[in-house]
Chain A
Amino acid sequence: MAVPGALKRLAAGGTHFGIVAAFTIFSAFPFYWMLITTFKRTSDLMNRTHNPFIYNEPPTLEHLRVLFAETLYARWLGNTLLVGLIVVAVTLVLALPAGYALARLTGRWGEQLGIGIFLTYLIPPTLLFIPMSRVIGDLGLQDSLWSLVVVYPSFTVPFCTWLLMGFFKAIPRDLEEAAMIDGHSRFGAFVKVVIPISVSGILTVVIFSFTLVMQEFVYALTFISTASQFTVSVGVPTFLVHGDVYFWGSLMAGCFIASVPIAILYNFFVDRFIAGFTVGAIK
């Protein structure tokens, strides 16, 4: 009698394992493949009779050397970091007070405004990049990293304001009221009491904004045409390909290095982003 039950449980476990395994392989395979390719000799890569899953010839660091010594990759990483840090700072300066105001100071109209701000996150670069390219040109920012600094907060500020609003709403009001009784103004209470205890919310915004900056492609492709001014997400696909010659080893190394570390960092905060995405549809 116990056998069919056990069998059934085994089958269910097998199905569960199969589903999880299949989707994990689908999701992670391209990154695994980048890693494998990074250390393969070109002669090994470019041989159709070789089994691509194993190293038929000894692994090599040549592709990494080429990537860092003979391309602008390190420069692109630096550019991305620079733009990312400035955009994160701008985002915090704009979104922190806005999120607080929406959480505490504005009543009914604030709620409407909050949803309005959130919706601008849904307006894609695709709709705006054409007029934007002209505006950037008129401002004389063509080909400059500053063009990205000006434009990127347009997709970080709305979502981060929304995230921070939710975060501030969860802070007990008593804390600020106590600070105000101690003689702080409301703004003083925000700066001296609310911000210090919101470190994890601020960190979430920092990581989220930085990932968005790393991912952005359309604006950077539109505004910038000098190789030395690219960010990594545009530099690798456009400048590591010479005519029709693909340097697969270096390309894959470049993709892997810029993808995986940030993803590991992001993973720590993912539940908070999801809370933002679900717009309070979950209670």
Chain B
Amino acid sequence: MATLEGDARAAAGARAGRLGFLLDRPEWLGPLMIGPAVLYIVLVVGLPFFLALYYSVSDITMGSRTLGFVGLKNFVSVVSTTKFQTSLKNTFVFAVVSQVLVMVFANVLALALLKDFRGKWLIRLLILLPWVAPISLGTIGWLWILDSIYSVINWTLQALGLISPDNWPMWLGIPHLAMGSVITVHVWRLLPLATVIILAGLTSIPQDIHDAAAVDGAGFWRHLFQVTLPLVRPIMLVAALFGLVFAFTDMIIIFVLTRGGPYDTTQVLASLAFFTGIQGGDLAEGAAVALFLFPLLLAVAVVFLRIARRTEVT
């Protein structure tokens, strides 16, 4: 028996040879197995990122073959335009307003979904739809719902007697309404993710904590604000961080709904970078615009790391 096993081992060893040595030692095999993924990420994410930094201080355009160093000229010329200033302001308005709404709604909805009821499976599927469906296609659905002539919302409002037939609002044509529409679609899109993340947090609270609160005589609101919500706070932070990143950097909803119009009132940094860099062909200025998103992402990453570290300790 012992010799059989020994033979098998020797055969396996001989077959694998020197390679087998590599494949058996964790300190070699580890880097070997993770290497390809890291190399790929460095090449396809890291390299373009440094190129973006480089482009932003150069005079590159779509057609040019040469790269001249121009220092901070792009940033200076970009920052002084009203287009950029509006976009910067809009970016914050969109991201912050939509995230506040998402967090409030997601908490309400997650609390409602915590209870068991019939058909919950179907309800969860329907609520998840906006998150899973390709966002560009979901947004076209909204484009039709908000259509200037055939909007179903306007038809309903008119049927309810709230607006007159010759006075239908142009949801995407009036600055404030367009802004509201884009925010609504953002909320619609990001609500499912935040809801299921918070729901996961709520489900993970041990039942005895709820029981203890009930025994101590905490009412509904007190229970909610002093027991449940504080316990899901770390997870809410995670949901909010993801939401912020998606909201700050998204250009799809705006591209499909308004193209930044009317008169750039819904333009954000991401869409401005696209229109300047790709459609306008000014890669250098486009890169400069996009880079304004970076400090924000860095801040999110730092918060994220702190959460990850804290959960490691416990």
Residues of chain A at the chain B interface (Cβ within 8 Å): 16, 19-20, 23-24, 26-31, 33-34, 37, 45-46, 48, 51-53, 93-95, 97-98, 100-102, 104-106, 110-111, 113, 115, 117, 119-120, 122-135, 150-151, 153-154, 157-158, 161, 182-188, 211, 214-215, 217-218, 221-222, 232-234, 236-237, 246, 248, 251-252, 254-255, 258-260, 262-264, 266-267, 270-271, 274-275, 277-283
Contacts and interface: CB of A to CB of B under 8 A. Distances in A.
B49 to A, nearest CB: 6
A208 B63 CA distance: 37
26 contacts: A19-B108, A48-B150, A98-B38, A119-B301, A122-B300, A128-B52, A129-B277, A130-B283, A133-B283, A134-B283, A153-B40, A183-B8, A214-B134, A233-B135, A237-B256, A248-B147, A255-B137, A258-B137, A263-B129, A263-B132, A263-B133, A267-B124, A267-B125, A274-B197, A274-B200, A275-B200
Contact of A281 (B191, B283, B311): B311
Interface string B96-127: 00000000010011001101010000011111
B249 to A, nearest CB: 4
A26 B129 contact: no
B178 interface: no
A24 B308 CA distance: 33
A261 to B, nearest CB: 10
B48 A100 contact: no
B69 interface: no
B36 interface: yes
B44 A150 contact: yes
Nearest to B141: A30
A28 to B, nearest CB: 4
B137 A259 contact: yes
B150 A52 contact: yes
B288 to A, nearest CB: 10
Nearest to B205: A282
Contact of A157 (B37, B112, B188): B37
B37 A130 contact: no
A222 B290 CA distance: 15
Given A28-B126, A154-B45, A281 B51 contact: no
Interface in B121-154: 123-130, 132-142, 144-145, 147, 149-150, 152
Q: For chain B, what secondary structure do more than half of its interface residues adopt (helix, strand, loop), or is it mixed?
A: helix
B33 A126 contact: no
A113 B20 contact: no
Given A119-B304, A186-B29, A279-B307, A130 B287 contact: yes
B200 A271 contact: yes
B234 to A, nearest CB: 5
B193 A277 contact: yes
A23 B104 CA distance: 13
A103 to B, nearest CB: 10
A48 B32 CA distance: 65
A45 B249 CA distance: 35
Contact of B245 (A27, A105, A122): A122
A255 B140 contact: yes
B218 interface: no
Contacts of A187: 23-24, 29, 33
B113 A20 contact: yes
B134 A215 contact: yes
A97 B312 CA distance: 23
B207 to A, nearest CB: 15
A280 B152 CA distance: 43
B260 interface: no
B238 A279 contact: yes
Nearest to B25: A186
A266 B126 CA distance: 12
Given A150-B44, A217-B252, A283-B311, 13 more contacts: A27-B188, A30-B141, A34-B141, A122-B245, A122-B304, A129-B274, A130-B273, A134-B55, A151-B44, A236-B137, A259-B138, A278-B197, A278-B200
Contacts of B105: 23
Interface in B266-292: 269-270, 273-274, 277-278, 283, 286-287, 290-291
Nearest to A105: B30
Most buried by A among B44, B51, B301, B305: B44
